[in-house]
């Protein structure tokens, strides 16, 4: 597990993530409301994903990521923070896999991500 420090509205947040580099195609997994990055962890060794780079992360307020009292936890903020994490990796194609609340976050990613 690694940590990335994201910034939004003058606040810093530590995001816990797992990254498996394999190719220029990055698959990002967005967990649901009562979940964490470990919801998708079983896919790390999935043969069908062997040729893809994978990124599992805990949104702010979940799992091993920061849980600040002064964060709104709005989906738009979660999306901006996730964008910062994704931009740390090199990729030519981006694939999004989302569950429950994670779907809203994935849909709110800025188009240039």
Confidence of residue 112 (pLDDT cuts 50, 70, 90): confident
**Whole-model pTM over 0.85:** yes
Q: What is the pLDDT of residue 66?
A: 97
Q: Report CA torsion sign: 70, 72, 78, 79.
A: negative
Mean pLDDT of the chain: 96
Q: What is the pLDDT of residue 80?
A: 95
**Chain-centre distance for alpha carbon 73:** 14
Distance CA 27, CA 92 (A): 11
Answer whether residue 62 shows pLDDT above 90: yes
Q: What is the pLDDT of residue 83?
A: 97
Confidence of residue 110 (pLDDT cuts 50, 70, 90): confident
């Amino acid at each position: 597990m690694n940590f990335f420090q994201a910034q939004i509205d003058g606040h810093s947040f530590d995001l816990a993530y797992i990254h498996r580099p394999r190719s220029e195609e990055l698959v990002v997994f967005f967990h649901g409301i009562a979940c964490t990055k470990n919801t998708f962890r079983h896919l790390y060794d999935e043969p069908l994903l062997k040729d893809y780079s994978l990124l599992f992360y805990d949104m702010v307020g979940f799992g091993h990521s920061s849980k600040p009292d002064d964060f709104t936890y709005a989906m738009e903020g979660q999306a901006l923070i996730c964008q910062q994490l994704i931009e740390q990796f090199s990729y030519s194609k981006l694939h999004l896999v989302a569950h429950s609340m994670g779907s809203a976050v994935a849909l709110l990613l800025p188009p240039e991500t």
